[in-house]
Amino acid sequence: MKNKIIAGNWKMNKTRIEAEQLINALIPLVKDTKNTVVICVPFTDLCKAVKLTKGTNIHVGAQNCHWKESGAFTGEIAPSMLTELGVEYVVIGHSERRTYFGETDATVLARTKAALAAGLKPIVCIGETLEERNSGNMEKVLQRQVREGFKDVTEEELANIVVAYEPVWAIGTGVTATDEQANDAIAFVRSVFADMYGKEAAEKLYIQYGGSMNDKNAEGLLNMSEIDGGLIGGASLVAEKFAAVVNAHK
C-alpha cells in the first residue's frame, strides 16, 4: 500500500514570523509519520521554510511558477528560482488560479513542463464546479483537464507528478464530498490516466483529494482505496489540525 502525500496549501496567509511559529510547532507533531509531508507556502516564506525544515521530514513547496526561465513577466517566479532556494514541490493550476487569474489547461501544461524540467515535483490541480457537477458534466470536465493539461507529459515525467482532485464547490465552503463521492471521482480520473499511460502508470500515480479535507474528516477520506493523500487548505494553517490530518492514516 502507498504511503500518503499530505500537502498543506497556505494560500495567501502567514508572514515570516507567523510561518516560523507554525513550522516550529508542526515539526515535532509529524516527525514519526510514514506519510510524506509538504507545506506549500507564500513566496515570501520560502527561504524561512526551507531553513527551518532542513533535516526534518517536512518538504517545502511553492504555490505557482512560470513557464519561462526569465523574461519580462512582472510578478512571476521562474522554476529555477525555486530550486535554487531548495524548494521541492510546486502547486500548479489550483482552482483559485483558474478562477481569478485566467489559468487554463494550456498554461497548466506549460507550467508543469517547466517545473519538471527544473527538477520540481508539480502538484497539478483539477476539478469541477458545482454547476458542472449538477449538469452532469463532471466526467467531461475532468477528462478534458487531464487530456489537455497532460498531453505533452511523458510517462517518465508523470512519475514525478502529484495530481490533486479538488471539486471547486468544496473548497473553502465547508462542504466536503462524501468519502464515496471523492473516491469515485478519483477512480474516474485514474481511469483517464490509465487510458493515456497504461494501468500500471496510473496505479502508481498519486492522486490527492483537495476539497476541504480537515482533521475531522481526514481519516475516512484517506482510508478510501483511490485517495493517495490530501491537498489541505484551512486546516494546514493550524499545526495541531494539520498534524491530525497527516497522522490520520497510519
Other beta carbons within 10 Å of 203:
12
Phi–psi pair at 9, nearest 5 degrees: -105, 100
What is the per-residue DSSP string for 30-86?
HTT-SSEEEEE--GGGHHHHHHHHTTSSEEEEES---SSSSSS-TT---HHHHHHHT
Record the cell numbers describing residue 168, joined without a space: 471547486
Is 131 catalytic? The answer is no
Annotated catalytic residue within 59, 66, 94, 249 = 94
**179 neighbors 220 (Cβ within 8 angstroms):** yes
How far is 5 from 26, CA to CA, in rounded Å?
16
Annotated catalytic residue within 103, 128, 132, 166 = 166
Is 157 catalytic? The answer is no
Supply the residues annotated as catalytic: 94, 166
